[in-house]
Structure 1
Amino acid sequence: MCDLHDQHDHETTTATDPVMAASAHTTAPNYVPPTGLARDSPAKAAALDWIREHTDRITGLNSEIWDNAELSLREWKSSLAQAAFLEQAGFEVEFGTAGFPTAFTATYSHGTGGPVLGFSGEYDALPGLSQHSGVGHHDPREYVHDPFAPGYGPGHGCGHCVLGTAAAAAAAAVAQAAQRHQLPVTVRFFGSTAEENLIGKTYAVSQGVYDGLDAFLDWHPSTSNATGWRTSTAMTAVTFTFLGVAGHGGHPLGNKSALDAAVMMATLSEFLREENLAPSGRLHWVINNGGDIPNVTPEIAEISYYVREGSPARVQVLLDKVIAVSEAAAKASQTSVRHRITAACWNQLPSRAFAELMYDNMRQLGPPEFTDEAQQLARDLQESLGLPQQGMHTEIAELAPPNPVFLGGGSTDVADISWNVPTVSMGAALAPIGTKLHTWALTSCAAAAPGRAVVIAAARYLTATAIDLLTQPEQLRAIKDEFKQRTEGVAWRTALPDGYEPPMYEPPEWFLEKTGQAWPPDNITWPPQRVVSQEKFSSLGPELPPQQ
């Protein structure tokens, strides 16, 4: 039986996306990773020795940041701890990068004419993922005793305490080795705020913070020990605010429920999945303000979405549909709606040459050295979660070309950096086999035995790769040549809207004094404009006459 609708009779045609084309690969199916890229050198040995000699300081910094467990844009103690570590290693630190109070840039220079290498530091925790360290069952360290809304405190369920610490250790090790072996270099470490909201780096890139770098080295705790040159998903974070009219829940006629609008929007947006969400897309949401008590009709409600797709252009198409859904929900509920974009990033630009160099170093250095204690914790967590008790990953995953069909996934604010400077990303296994990031189980591992092994291993991978860029200039040239070729014909422009002001929290006075900052920074309006409903009660029409 023939389909009456010819597949070629589409109302619209789709042109090739230049961003996705730049992110694609043309690797032969029988690809074999090159060897001999990573080379031993006196400078590399000195840098790795520095990490070994400072293991206690490194793992101690990780534990300190884990213990703070501070949320995005409010990492007061954590940013100070990371900055102090680098100051002790000879870096000059300046707080307030791109106007963010807890963002800082640490710089170390030796000699002249050398490359400028960037390292990425993070330190924000996630809400609701509190967990005691090294405990194999769910046991929140901070429990919120609220009889109507019990919950858990924040925790490092994405491992940013490990991420930032390993990167800081690598930056310090490279600086020390460069000084000892007279290698000209400038090392820049970027302490970045609010990665979990994808705010810190995307805005900082738009302000030119990362200009002038020759290469950027990034890593993230992962479920395996691996690197590669696959892309990520572009993303826009958007919050919709519905405004209605409050009233007594026992006398609801004429009230306008903003919560009804948010629930309708959530329901309507789910209907986008069948016909408007490709395998490369992701759409997820949370109602972050839905009222306080059933006896008061909620006058204000907010629902936040992460809209992900393979490129900024594809994100925009999906975002427009989500915005249309919000308008439909507002019309149906007789409320008003407004939206604000809180973050927006591109998909990551791959670097095959950089990944090959990183992989060769990872292969030579070997996987993290997990102790029996680490493996036992991993098995306990797996048992608690109903997973096979396989422990931690104990090998370096083979370097392989990306899947030719992009099927979506996570997003990163490092992506915007990657379109401005050649960037490599690497993962080291902090999550036990079968578990995931953004879980209490990873919080349990981050400062315990698995985290102590991974923070050292990741620091070594980053350090060794960076030293190769200094001692083998031809490697850096090849990486930069690939970057130039990939970006030809693609002009990066921030995905943030015109007039964007990044969200911020006012710092405590002691933090401003300690970091030498003034409040507010020049790039935001303070205090922010208030969001207050001016809606009117809904009319029920003319009064009905009494029944005779």
Structure 2
Amino acid sequence: MQLLGAAGVVGSVTGGADPAMAAAAEGALDTDGGYRPPTGLAENSAAKATALGWIDDQASAITGLNDEIWEHAELSLREWKSSLAEAEFLERAGFEVTFGTAGFPTAFTATFRQGRGGPALGFSGEYDALPRLSQRKGVGHHDPREYIHDPFAPGYGPGHGCGHSALGSAAAAAAAAVAEAARAHRLPVTVKFFGSTAEEQLIGKTYAVSKGVYDGLDAFLDWHPSTSNATGWGTTTAMTAVTFTFLGVAGHGGTPLGNKSALDAAVMMATMSEFLREENLAPSGRLHWVITNGGEIPNVTPEIAEIAYYVREGSPERVRVLLDKVIAISEAAAKASRTRVQHKITSACWNQLPSRSFAELMHDNMRTIGPPDFDGEAQRLAQDLQRSLGLPQKGLHDEIGALTPPNPVFLGGGSTDVADISWQVPTVSMGTALAPIGTKMHTWSTASCAAAGPGRAALLAAARYLAATAVDLLTQPARLKAVKDEFARRTQGVRWKTALPDGYEPPMYEPPAWFLERTGQSWPPENITWPPKRVVSQEEFSSLGPELGPQE
């Protein structure tokens, strides 16, 4: 099986084919090395010309939206100003906006309808930044825009190191352009834009899918900033995010006997989990962690410590097997340190179900439209960043990447909460080159590009690719039918069930009063317990046994 790959040895030992991996692999090996992407799928039409013309006419407003969200640089679940900016952009384009999708304050659904009986097309928008990736835009060396002075723990503010300011702006522009084309040419359609919170923690969409938010769509279009201009029909890794909280007893570091260090437990867990790599972590898996709370000062034994893990594998079932081993390690660390441990799953998603026919249509549109229009200034910034990072100075990818079948050996990689959507509705994903060749997402260098020349060119190109592909689905019913037929074939015999645990309540922050008033929401939503249960240690000092008497 194409996606089992090197992990197949483990699969054959445990027995049974994995239906999620089999569905994602369907049709990937029937090319015999001679695959040539079809051409002539993307059709020139008056409606497409209208959509692309609208993007050209509104280019300054679209890049201005990106710049505004980039300036806000708001973290997951707290995108107060960013979500409002995106929603207001769509309202001006004729969409009806409702905030509070699936109970998330900063999630919203924007809807446009033209006529009756047409398909329902969905677009994915994100706008959360990442912690500690602050960077001045257009600067070719590391220069944090927000530097946090602390003589004991200096740091940086948040930044758009994954380019979500551009992601949401391009997707909103594409949705608005399709709406404009539908109005002008009387094409029946429902266009739905889903403003999603907390993609960086894979929270917003996975939970919303479980609540039926994406039901009733005929196709879903997604994009993400990248280092290349490409699409394909590969899959992603399934993932579960879990936080372990260790509870001990605080005490003076100078008199440590009897104290119970929660930090010791977290460190032991981290160390033991590294020993999983040789015999329990397949090439398709990933296991990474960070200690999010380990104490503040050395002379106080930490009473509470937290370590967060992302557990990734090729399918939800394979994630579960690996996660059980990580949980067992947490229990061993707690026992060894005499602390108490509890864990909470914060998010969980499936591997993405790809669509070959959808990717072929997207690729033909990308090829027809051409690569992003990077000017000399954008290329110079990219080369400056590459020089600063010790990389070859190749600049930005200025071609459309070849469409090729997925690698026959699935070697793992990133995850996305779009994956859960892909099991409900045919989904296509693509990327445009917002970041320099050789760099990576989740870096300050990406933040430098996102609101500068590279980001602006990339997001306008992305908007064109998304809009053009969506219009083809409207004007060529046969293309939409092919996409839906493939989806039905791939999902036959596979029952999607959320990977989130029973009784799951999504994490949330209480919004400021002004935001609730502006968006017409009340607090708390019905799907969470508020205030949340406090996490407080009730542990006792550790006994050292009977006191030793004086020596005689």
Class of the TM-score when normalised by the shorter of the 2 chains: over 0.9
1:222-276 alpha-carbon deviations (Å, 9 max, x no partner)? 1110000000000000000000000000000000000000000000000000000
- 1:398 aligned residue (395, 402, 408): 402
Separation (CA, whole Å) in 2 of partners of 1:541 and 1:77: 58
1:289-332 alpha-carbon deviations (Å, 9 max, x no partner)? 00011010000000000000000000000000000000000000
Q: SS at the partner of 1:315?
A: helix
Counterpart in 2 of 1:15?
A: 16
**Corresponding position: 1:160 with 2:157:** no
**Corresponding position: 1:170 with 2:171:** no
- 2:93 aligned residue (89, 93, 108): 89
1:38 aligned partner, one-letter code:
A
Cα deviation for residue 547 of structure 1 reads: 2.1
Q: SS at the partner of 1:368?
A: coil
- 1:375 aligned residue (360, 373, 379): 379
Cα deviation for residue 13 of structure 1 reads: 3.6
Cα deviation for residue 546 of structure 1 reads: 1.2
What are the residue-to-residue correspondences of 1:110-121 with 2, within 5 Å? 110-121=114-125
Counterpart in 1 of 2:30?
A: 27
1:22 aligned partner, one-letter code:
A
Cα deviation for residue 15 of structure 1 reads: 1.0
What are the residue-to-residue correspondences of 1:248-397 with 2, within 5 Å? 248-397=252-401
**Corresponding position: 1:525 with 2:529:** yes
Q: SS at the partner of 1:344?
A: strand
Q: SS at the partner of 1:48?
A: helix
Counterpart in 2 of 1:4?
A: none
- 1:139 aligned residue (140, 143, 159): 143
Counterpart in 2 of 1:179?
A: 183
What are the residue-to-residue correspondences of 1:94-105 with 2, within 5 Å? 94-105=98-109
Separation (CA, whole Å) in 2 of partners of 1:285 and 1:69: 24
Cα deviation for residue 96 of structure 1 reads: 0.1
Q: SS at the partner of 2:243?
A: strand
Cα deviation for residue 12 of structure 1 reads: 4.9
1:518 aligned partner, one-letter code:
S
2:30 aligned partner, one-letter code:
T
1:373 aligned partner, one-letter code:
E
Separation (CA, whole Å) in 2 of partners of 1:292 and 1:546: 38
Separation (CA, whole Å) in 2 of partners of 1:489 and 1:150: 53
Tell me if structure 2 keeps the 8 A contact 1:130–1:142: yes
Q: SS at the partner of 1:176?
A: helix
Separation (CA, whole Å) in 2 of partners of 1:333 and 1:64: 48
Cα deviation for residue 9 of structure 1 reads: 13
Q: SS at the partner of 1:236?
A: strand
Tell me if structure 2 keeps the 8 A contact 1:193–1:199: yes
Q: SS at the partner of 1:398?
A: coil
Tell me if structure 1 keeps the 8 A contact 2:249–2:540: yes
Separation (CA, whole Å) in 1 of partners of 2:528 and 2:363: 42
Counterpart in 2 of 1:3?
A: none
Cα deviation for residue 27 of structure 1 reads: 2.8
TM-score, normalised relative to structure 1: 0.98
Counterpart in 2 of 1:5?
A: none
1:71-105 alpha-carbon deviations (Å, 9 max, x no partner)? 00000000000000000000000000000000000
Separation (CA, whole Å) in 2 of partners of 1:470 and 1:246: 64
Separation (CA, whole Å) in 2 of partners of 1:160 and 1:260: 36
- 2:53 aligned residue (38, 49, 55): 49
2:15 aligned partner, one-letter code:
T
What are the residue-to-residue correspondences of 1:463-542 with 2, within 5 Å? 463-542=467-546
Gaps of at least 5 residues in structure 1 are 1-7
Q: SS at the partner of 2:102?
A: helix
Separation (CA, whole Å) in 2 of partners of 1:450 and 1:18: 40
Tell me if structure 2 keeps the 8 A contact 1:227–1:355: yes
Counterpart in 2 of 1:129?
A: 133
Separation (CA, whole Å) in 1 of partners of 2:395 and 2:384: 9
- 1:212 aligned residue (200, 210, 216): 216
Separation (CA, whole Å) in 1 of partners of 2:227 and 2:140: 17
Moved more, 56-65 or 26-35: 26-35
2:504 aligned partner, one-letter code:
Y
Cα deviation for residue 108 of structure 1 reads: 0.1
Separation (CA, whole Å) in 1 of partners of 2:313 and 2:435: 25
**Corresponding position: 1:199 with 2:203:** yes
Separation (CA, whole Å) in 1 of partners of 2:376 and 2:255: 63
Cα deviation for residue 11 of structure 1 reads: 11
Tell me if structure 1 keeps the 8 A contact 2:11–2:17: no
What are the residue-to-residue correspondences of 1:434-453 with 2, within 5 Å? 434-453=438-457
Change (3 A) 1:365 1:260: same
Counterpart in 2 of 1:189?
A: 193
Cα deviation for residue 393 of structure 1 reads: 0.3
Tell me if structure 2 keeps the 8 A contact 1:233–1:411: yes
Moved more, 18-27 or 190-199: 18-27
Change (3 A) 1:208 1:26: same
1:293 aligned partner, one-letter code:
I
Tell me if structure 2 keeps the 8 A contact 1:27–1:401: no
Separation (CA, whole Å) in 2 of partners of 1:51 and 1:409: 33
Separation (CA, whole Å) in 1 of partners of 2:302 and 2:377: 50
- 1:238 aligned residue (242, 255, 258): 242
**Corresponding position: 1:67 with 2:43:** no
CA RMSD of aligned residues (A): 1.1
State how many pairs are aligned.
541
Flag as ranges the 4+ runs of structure 1 deviating above 2 A: 8-13
